Structure formats: structure tokens, C-alpha cells
Amino acid sequence: MEQYDDRPLEDDFPLLDESLRLIRDRSDLAVNYFYAALFLERPDLRALFPAAMDTQRDRLFKALTGIVRNLNEQDRVIPMLEQLGRDHRKYGVRPDHYAALGRALIGALEKYCDDVWVPELQSAWERAYTFMARTMIDGAQEAASREPAWWKAEIIAHERRADDIAVITLRTDRRYSYTAGQFASIETPYRPRSWRTYSMATAPSPDGLLEFHVRALGHGWVSGPLVWRATVGDVLKLGAPMGEMSVDQQSRRDILCIAGGTGLAPIKAMVDDMSKWNTARKVHVFFGVRRPGDLYDIGALHRLAAMNPWLTVTPAVSDEPTFPGERGMLPDVVERQGDWREHDVFVCGSPDMTRSTLTRLSELGVPESRISYDVAGDEHPASAQVIDLRRTRQSRERTSTGWDR
């Protein structure tokens, strides 16, 4: 990628960070001002956002400012910004939109940092945003030369596995290349311009079909309709694959996989992929849920285990004292079952489950460098988090933040 002479200066970073610290308790006001200024200058941009913005209105602003906090590590931030530019093509974002976004952002910061706003601070923000925008534009243009902004994906199978869980199979309108462990964003025709990320639940296959596990959470605008309204024949939009969680085929260590609820999806995909090449590495999958009825895909796991002697599957239920198998919270069950310090470890589940499991693994002496993890849940859309749990041992060396709607 082209490198720019107007990158932020080393002296800019303390100024930028201090301005963000000062605006923290006024962030709601700054967000409101940001959108008002943006839509006043460019009313056409309102059409790129969901009709109701209450659940996501601060994500763009937080992501932009979150990236700025890490600009002093540009070798790590550049690939992330390029990926964001690639991903945001699906919203219809064009190069000419970035200037208006920058003016609205800096205008909001100036208004709510007026007691400290000086020309030097404005210049620092202008350099930072120019660098961000140019890098994202480069990423988008490079991606446009090799892939569409989004794929059409027809639902060819829809199975309700529980009251709030569906397993959905999609067929895309063109080749969709991904790696087991990655995730993709989906837009439904029922809530246009609202996107939500889901991990592919199987490895790439010759038939090109994609499987997703969807749990309806609260008032999720995408997950709810996908579970309760979607039907065979509906056509969705599918964004480009993202994420770096994958099994290192060069490692000789055995593998521990810990999945909570629909966090099973990327774990299952990686195990499915290993069935094509693994012979020696043992894999132990713990699948934790609250109630036995939530073990929605346990049959598929048992079939994989029956065909692959190296795979062990342990279901665990926390809220049913009569369950005949392992009972208790997932970190407790994992701790009881063995010594995992010499394993490569993968964790995926709700934010709370993921955090508690990572804490327990650390207490058990599992090196952080051997742990990869992901999250499942509407509150954690891909590339939208200033503090993003979608981290892996590879991407831990880079910033985990982003921008999504």
C-alpha cells in the first residue's frame, strides 16, 4: 500500500489521547452532534444507516476515536484500517464520503473540547483522520479489484433447533472463499442496513454451502428475524469473510476447544476442517449450555467424534441438576477434566463466558500466547468494537478495534 508523508506525528499522540480522555464524560453529546453535523452537510448519507439508530448510533464515533487511540502503532493499525475499508464497501461507502465524516468528527470534538481546543490539536486530528481515511480508501479500492462488496445468499435450509436457535444453510450467488474459524456479516431483507456477524459453522466444502448458527438475543434486529421469520428461499446479503482465528497446522500441540452456546459455530468449523488433514493431534471439545435443550448441535459433534478417533466431545449443562453428564459452569468443568497448559486453546461464547473462561485459563497456567478467542452475541458486531473480544494469538499483535453498524 502507498505510504503517506502526512502521517500523524509522534507529538500528536499525547494530544489526541488527552482530548479523548477529556471528552469521555460528554461522549453522548458529542455523538449526537457528530450525526447532526454529518446529516446536515450530507443528507444523502442518512440512507446508509438503519432506519432506527438507537442501538448503534455511537458505534461509528467510538470506533473512529478508538482507532485514533492506537495510531502510534501504525504497523498494526494499517492492516486493520485496510480491512475496515474493504468491509465498509457493503454499506455503499464511497471515497467522497470520508471528507464529510472527518469534518463532522472534528467538529464534534472541537465543540466538546472547546476549553482545550487549540490549533495544534486541530492539526493533529486532521492528520490522524486523513491518514485513517486514505488507508481505508486504499483497502477498499484494492478489495474492489478482486471481490464484490457483498454476496447474495439464498436460504436453502432453515432448522429451528430450539425456541431461540436456528441453523441456517446458505448458497451464495458466486464463489465465497473463507477459512474455518472466520466470520461474516449478514443483512436481512427484513431490517435493511442492519448487519450482524456470524461465524461459519462448517469448513469450506465443494458444494459451496455455508452453515450459520443463530441465536435470537433480546431485540436483535438481525438475529431475531433470522430465527423466527426467515424461510427457505429468502435472499440475504453476505459480507466478506473476516477474522484470523484458525488452527495452526504447524503446531504439534493437542487442542482444547471451549464453546458456549452458538459460540460452537467456529469451533465446529475448525474441527470439521481438521477432519480433512489431522491424524495425530488430539482435540477435546467442551460444549457448554444452560439447559439440555440448548445442546442444539450435539448430534453433529458426536458424528464427527465417531468418524475421528482423535476427537473427544464433552457436553456440559449448568442449570439442570438432573443432567446425566457434566454439570456446572464451563470454566469449572474444563478445570476438572485435565491439565491444559500444553494445549493450543480456542474459546468462543458470550462476552461473559469468554471473559470468565480466559481468566480461569490464566489461573490454570495456560500461556496467553496459545489462546485464541472470539465472541458470539448481538452486542459484539464484527469490526465494531473499541475493545474487541475478537482477538487471536496472531491478531493480539495488532489493534482490536473497528467500525461497523
38 domain-assigned: yes
Same domain, 132 and 19: yes
Split at pLDDT 50, 70, 90, the class of 219 is low
At which of 174, 209, 238 does a domain end?
A: 238
Same domain, 212 and 139: no
In angstroms, the CA 214 to CA 230 distance is: 11
What are the pLDDT digits (tens) for 82-120? 988 998 899 899 999 999 999 999 999 999 988 889 999
Same domain, 317 and 265: yes
Residue 6 scores a pLDDT above 90: no
Same domain, 26 and 116: yes
Region 267-283: what's the mean pLDDT? Answer: 97
**Predicted local confidence at residue 182, as pLDDT:** 94
Mapped onto helix, strand or coil, the DSSP state of residue 241 is coil
What are the pLDDT digits (tens) for 346-365? 999 998 999 999 999 999 99
**Predicted local confidence at residue 55, as pLDDT:** 58
**Predicted local confidence at residue 56, as pLDDT:** 60
Residue 381 scores a pLDDT above 60: no
Mean pLDDT, all residues of the chain: 87
Neighbours of 120 (CB within 10 A): 10
Split at pLDDT 50, 70, 90, the class of 398 is very low
**Predicted local confidence at residue 54, as pLDDT:** 62
6 domain-assigned: no
Same domain, 139 and 156: no
What b/e readout covers 25-40, taking b as 16+ CB neighbours within 10 angstroms?
Answer: eebeebbebbbebbee
In angstroms, the CA 18 to CA 225 distance is: 42
Same domain, 120 and 161: no
At which of 144, 178, 211 does a domain end?
A: 144
Residue 395 scores a pLDDT above 60: no
Split at pLDDT 50, 70, 90, the class of 80 is confident
What's the Cα-to-Cα distance from 333 to each of 86, 120, 287, rounded to whole Å? Answer: 40, 55, 10
For residue 197, list its beta bridge partners.
185
Range of lowest pLDDT (80-84, 130-134, 166-170): 80-84
375 domain-assigned: yes
Closest CA to 386 of 363, 403, 405: 403
404 domain-assigned: no
Residue 318 scores a pLDDT above 50: yes
Region 212-234: what's the mean pLDDT? Answer: 90
**Predicted local confidence at residue 52, as pLDDT:** 66
Same domain, 230 and 134: no
Split at pLDDT 50, 70, 90, the class of 396 is very low
244 domain-assigned: no
35 domain-assigned: yes
Domain containing residue 188: 151-238
Range of lowest pLDDT (54-63, 209-218, 297-306, 352-361): 54-63
What are the pLDDT digits (tens) for 17-66? 888 888 888 888 888 899 999 999 999 999 888 776 665 666 766 777 77
Split at pLDDT 50, 70, 90, the class of 397 is very low
At which of 204, 238, 272 does a domain end?
A: 238
Region 154-172: what's the mean pLDDT? Answer: 96
Region 378-394: what's the mean pLDDT? Answer: 39
Residue 393 scores a pLDDT above 80: no
Q: In CATH, what number is assigned to the domain containing residue 177?
A: 2.40.30.10
Region 391-401: what's the mean pLDDT? Answer: 41
82 domain-assigned: yes
Residue 263, Cβ density class (10 Å: 0-12 exposed, 13-18 middle, ≥19 buried): buried
How many C-alpha atoms does 211 have within 13 Å on its Cβ side?
23
21 domain-assigned: yes
Domain count, the chain: 3
Residue 194 scores a pLDDT above 50: yes
Q: In CATH, what number is assigned to the domain containing residue 300?
A: 3.40.50.80
